[in-house]
Amino acid sequence: MASDQLISIVIVTRNAEHFLQRCLDSIFSQEYPSIEIIIMDGASTDATLSIIEKNSDRIAFWKSEKDDGIYDAMNKALDVVQGKWIYFLGADDMLTSDFSLFAKNLKDPNFIYYGSVQKAGVKYLGKLAPYHQAKTGINHQAIIYPVEIFSIYRYDTTYLISADHVFNMRFNKHEKFRFKFVDFDIAIFNDTGISSVQKDPVFEQRKGRLILKYFGMKIFLRFQFKVLKAKLLSV
């Protein structure tokens, strides 16, 4: 496998003792041969560090220190990755065997490749039209990014929950990078995490403006109509 096919899998942890080994095992079982694992831990106080140390011979880099949230930790991880492709996996998520099949499609570094995940036992989202990319966003565990993107952009830590959605919005009509869908379910997504049960107040306040900026007037007006309709129905 050529060195330009190395995938850096970034896992951010914080007191993940109940899930982390399962997550790591799902990576260890992959047939794809060129993977490195990066773990950024937010000063866990449970057995997370013991699990990391037990698996340290199969982890390319790990560090445990206080951070300013998941996106701050992800940005820190990007400073040490060696891969040409970057994938973010939740400590409570797992890869499927199809991740390795999906990874074989990583050929053009101008593409951001995405597939689907399994959520509550069923396929989640699939290929998204621009409107649904704007409104819902592509699931973060469904995306593998070319590393060059992160030499230009990083996650905006102003957004505590939705920085990945904001990050992805900019590529709808980007001059260089664009999304490409490949139809594999590459991860099992835990839908009880913070991003599934809470909203990001800063993102919700700015969402309309961001949609207008990155997706244009037509999609913005469609989104605003949906918001107005929801308000009227709730009265």
Segment 148-206, tens digit of pLDDT: 999 999 999 999 999 999 999 999 999 999 999 999 999 999 877 555 558 899 999 99
Tell me the pTM: 0.93
DSSP run (H or E) holding 105: none
Nearest CA to 85 among 1, 25, 26? 1
Burial of residue 34 (CB within 10 Å: 0-12, 13-18, 19+) is middle
Q: CA-based Rg of the chain, rounded to a whole angstrom?
A: 18
Q: CA geometry: angle at 114 spanning 230 and 101, to 5°?
A: 140
Task: Report the distance separating Cα 179 and Cα 197, nearest Å.
Answer: 26
CB 96 within 8 Å of CB 189: no
Domains of the chain listed by start with CATH number: 3-198 (3.90.550.10)
Would you state the pLDDT for residue 196? 54
Q: Which residues of the chain have pLDDT under 70?
A: 1-3, 193-197, 235
